[in-house]
Amino acid sequence: MAEKLERVYNVNLRSAYNYPRTVRARKALIMLRAFVERHMKSAEVTISNALNHEIWRNGMQKPPIRMRIKAVREDGKVSALLFGEDEIKAAGEKRRGEKKKKAADKRGKREREKKEREAKKTSAPAKEAPKKEQPAAAPVSKAVKEAPAKVPTFADVPAGHADAKGNAP
């Protein structure tokens, strides 16, 4: 197995501000990738999610001017991490494992619910008790709709009195 090389860099991204506002964050990522390729001498560079989110945090128009990163080279592959961040987990393996666990949990839950429903169906006829008849409810009378109260307007208020909003003269 090859050696693991870790380095911490302060990357200046100010020259991304030489580009139009709508491409600055994208250019900052390209510049960061080029910086890591040049200094770690490897063409395979992976940028971590946390580092990507940090660059895009203020939006596309205002990427950070400089960033502190940790670059890790192992087996010719370089990972660019936000300073203080742990290693990048193998994303594909992690996701597959989580999906399998979730699917198994769902399957088990569905089977348990199905068994419970079947158990209720089989036990329901045995426990069935005669239902008591409820007395018929009194017929509901229809309520008469009343006309909504008239809201006073400015024309309805006598001269010299409060206006329609309730303000005194």
| Closest among 85, 76, 22 to 53, alpha carbons compared | 85
What is residue 158's predicted lDDT score, i.e. its pLDDT? 67
Token look-up 């770690």 returns 40
DSSP state of 13: -
Q: What percent of the chain has pLDDT over 70?
A: 67
pLDDT band at 119 (very low <50, low <70, confident <90, very high): confident
What is residue 141's predicted lDDT score, i.e. its pLDDT? 58
What is residue 74's predicted lDDT score, i.e. its pLDDT? 92
List strand residue ranges (DSSP E) for the chain, in order: 5-12, 44-47, 66-74, 77-82
Q: Is a pLDDT exceeding 60 seen at residue 165? A: yes
Contact 4, 74 (CB under 8 A): yes
pLDDT band at 140 (very low <50, low <70, confident <90, very high): low
Q: What is the pLDDT of residues 48-95, one digit of tens each?
A: 999 999 999 999 999 999 999 999 999 989 999 999 887 766 555 566
What is residue 93's predicted lDDT score, i.e. its pLDDT? 57
CA 169, CA 167: separation in Å to the nearest integer?
A: 7
Task: HSE, CB side, 13 Å, CA atoms: give it for residue 84.
Answer: 4
Reduced to 3 states (helix: H, G, I; strand: E, B; else coil), residue 95 is helix
Mean pLDDT, residues 4-9: 93
Give 129 or 105, the one with higher predicted confidence. Answer: 105
Reduced to 3 states (helix: H, G, I; strand: E, B; else coil), residue 141 is coil
List C-alpha distances in Å: 164 to 10, 43, 84, 147, 150: 67, 76, 65, 21, 13
Q: Which CATH number fits domain 12-90: 3.20.20.70, 2.60.40.10, 3.10.440.10, 3.40.50.1370?
A: 3.10.440.10
What is residue 121's predicted lDDT score, i.e. its pLDDT? 79
- Which residues on adjacent β-strands are paired with residue 79? 46, 72
Q: What is the pLDDT of residues 12-59, one digit of tens each?
A: 999 999 999 999 999 999 999 999 999 999 999 999 999 999 999 999
Token look-up 């300073």 returns 83
